[in-house]
A and B are shown apart, each in its own frame.
Chain A
Amino acid sequence: MNKIKSLDDLRKMKQSLEHGMNIREKSNSPESLVQIRVAMATCGIAAGARTVMNALIEKIEKEKIPAVVTQGGCMGYCYAEPTIEVKIPGKDPVVFGNVDSKVAVDIIEKYVLNGELLDGIIPTNYQTINE
């Protein structure tokens, strides 16, 4: 194993390592982050939710967006799978339907970063127990 020979070495090492811990650090304060929940029930997965989730995570990492992507169960919008719910701090959650990896990237670029609304928004009609 290689020695850490200076404070710089340690800092570099930390930088390269903190990446793997990011998801845990973020989970410490989810309320201050953009929370994106991908519906990952059987129908969602069949419709490509896993690819969407990967695309979201990749985009977030690339742009260094303070966001956390979680999996959720079936949201009930089976006609519009894959669906994702995006909650920006201080705003009501918005649900997008018929998301593919391209739309996912659009959602991040337009809605999350610029606050523009896109096609494919599903009016929400549910409450979660956290509210």
Chain B
Amino acid sequence: MVSFQQTIRQLMSKREVMAQFKMHLLVCAGTGCRASQSDEIISNLISEIKNLGLENDAQVVATGCFGFCEKGPIVKIIPDNTFYTQVKPEDCAEIVREHVLKGRKVVRLLYEDPETQKHIEDSKHMGFYQKQLRIALRNCGFIDPENIDEYIARDGYAAIGKMLAEMTPQQAIDEMKKSGLRGRGGGGFPTGIKWEIASKNKADQKYVVCNADEGDPGAFMDRSILEGDPHSIIEAMAICGYCIGASKGLVYIRAEYPLAIKRLQIAIEQARNYGLLGDDIMGTGFSFDVELKYGAGAFVCGEETALIHSMEGHRGEPTVKPPFPAEKGYLGKPTNVNNVETLANVPVIYLKGADWFASIGTEKSKGAKVFALAGKINNVGLIEVPMGITLREIIFEIGGGIKGGKKFKAVQTGGPSGGCLTEKHLDTPIDFDNLLAAGSMMGSGGMIVMDEDDCMVSVAKFYLEFTVEESCGKCAPCRVGNKRLHEMLEKICGGKGTEEDLDYLQNLCKVIKDTSLCGLGQTSPNPVLSTLEHFYDEYVAHVKERVCIAGRCKALKLYTIITDKCTGCTACTRACPVGAITGEKRQPHVIDVDKCIRCGACYDKCKFTAIHVQ
């Protein structure tokens, strides 16, 4: 058996080798960049470095997500912070020959500012990063998630170590309460209070559950954290276990996140080997271990009670609260469920102190929040910003504005449970309470940006489609009500809606909200209610004038031929699949509105822009 001192010595000798690296090449190995061949980029970089005999000078590190998914795969060169975007495997030789060997940046791969069209030398000068404050994402894109040593080098497991040595569980809970951290999964419930409730319930066995069942369309922060920094979640679960008196942790993760699962498995194995999980952690008598539970990827299983039932092997259906999981959870024992992003904040809070965390953000929402930017925005990606930042800063400064210079229309936050924020909300500081007051919610932090080409009725319909699909079917308001809501929206988009339908829609929304069993049903009408509130004109236009302002709803499009422009070339006549266009050669043609199926084939074919769409 080798002593610990010997290991240290081994590490020290390894350290001499490590110390010689003058350059680190960080390559994103998250799901997004891997889909664009970042694996191959890593192996090409390594082999090219070897070819040039630079293996003692430069180290290639596979990291988690940098967040700038729009321009992936990313290669970041340390120490000069050069940020190469959209790197292809065949670019690797050039990067190594030019940058690593000769210190010349490969300019064509640098990020180009969309506004000034200038190449930006390093990540410190990129608008995308300047306004960010990365707390939960502190290690993503910085360390190798499959190497526990890199996590320990960044103070990993120091928070649990310090806590076990110096704090009682109650002191630790008080510290968490003082920090003001609120659940990042959607509800925004204060984490410290949740822990306190679970700690007060007496039982022979308690459980800590990490909710990694991320299901909002367009949200991918939990996956990125698990892929980029799995140890922080394991450490946070152990901290929570110590606070509430649990010795078992369970991560409920959807099977459709294979890379996150793999990295978690590796991390758990490494932590066990180091004795950071298991019995008698760091000689303090505290024991804790973590196990993975796989879900099939159902949206409703993000709800605590449904999640617990799914873990127990039952159908993923919610039950009435109370009893809350803190009282009767997994296998009937007190259980504390926290979301991935919430947990990722936990170790830093103990390292830097509750006061530090509480100094960031707004009065009632502390710290920073991760948002997944998606939709019609220039910089699609993952960002973390201090609470209280405005929507304008997020969309126009970090996000780089709307794609194609179009006009901003709305942003959907909180996924299928949230609502829309419009232009008038652009300068509202974003936090849990302000979003609720604006008729939306924080949710898990998905932000889908929409421009003038998006029809808000269709957007509401899209989210309803999702909830209809994902409703577990246990209670009637959600199962039947949402189905009816969806039909109603279909009818309106199909040009068959009436003004009475709008009132009916509103009423039905209220009934579903008031009578559904769980959070899914209670929030599912939100996209409809909020679009009704902010874009009532659009609904009215659909039912009254039968016009879709954004031109999205096919059934509401009216195709006519502009007589002055039509040359009678007959191209449209031949393109029309239903023979709705008639006319003599070299004479203006006409479209039979009754026969027209609004396919747009004539519009595409016409060379004289003589087809008018309304």
- Do A and B come from the same complex? yes
Report Cα–Cα, A27/B79, bound state, in Å: 5
B105 touches A57 (CB 8 A): no
Report Cα–Cα, A4/B280, bound state, in Å: 11
A7 surroundings in chain B (CB, below 8 A): 161-162, 164-165, 282
A16 touches B8 (CB 8 A): yes
Q: How far, in Å, is A65 (CB) from chain B's closest CB?
A: 14
**Interface residue A1 (Cβ < 8 Å from any Cβ of B):** yes
B79 touches A2 (CB 8 A): no
Given known pairs A7-B161, A71-B23, the reply for A40 and B103 (CB within 8 Å) is: yes
Q: Which residue of chain A lies nearest to B1 when distances are taken between CB atoms in the complex? A: A2
A5 touches B283 (CB 8 A): yes
Residues 38-62 of A contacting B (Cβ, < 8 Å) = 38-42, 45, 53, 57, 61
Q: How far, in Å, is A6 (CB) from chain B's closest CB?
A: 5
B99 surroundings in chain A (CB, below 8 A): 71
B103 touches A14 (CB 8 A): no
A74 surroundings in chain B (CB, below 8 A): 104
Size range of the interface on A?
A: 35 or more
B283 surroundings in chain A (CB, below 8 A): 5-6
Residues 74-127 of B contacting A (Cβ, < 8 Å) = 78-81, 99-105, 118, 121-122, 124-125
Report Cα–Cα, A117/B165, bound state, in Å: 50
Report Cα–Cα, A10/B4, bound state, in Å: 11
Segment of B151-159, B244-252, B474-482 in the binding face: B151-159
A30 surroundings in chain B (CB, below 8 A): 79-81, 124
**Interface residue B12 (Cβ < 8 Å from any Cβ of A):** yes
Report Cα–Cα, A69/B105, bound state, in Å: 16
B78 surroundings in chain A (CB, below 8 A): 23-24, 27
Report Cα–Cα, A11/B15, bound state, in Å: 16
B149 surroundings in chain A (CB, below 8 A): 17, 20
B15 touches A42 (CB 8 A): no
A26 surroundings in chain B (CB, below 8 A): 79
B79 touches A68 (CB 8 A): yes
Given known pairs A24-B78, A129-B118, A129-B121, the reply for A2 and B4 (CB within 8 Å) is: yes
**Interface residue A70 (Cβ < 8 Å from any Cβ of B):** yes
**Told that A24-B24, A71-B80 touch, could you supply 7 new A-B pairs with CB distance under 8 A?**
A7-B164, A17-B11, A17-B153, A23-B21, A27-B78, A30-B79, A73-B104
The 7 closest A-B pairs by CB, nearest first: A71-B103, A3-B275, A20-B18, A40-B103, A73-B104, A17-B153, A27-B79
7 inter-chain pairs at a CB distance below 8 angstroms, sorted by A residue, are A5-B283, A7-B165, A14-B155, A19-B15, A20-B18, A70-B80, A70-B103
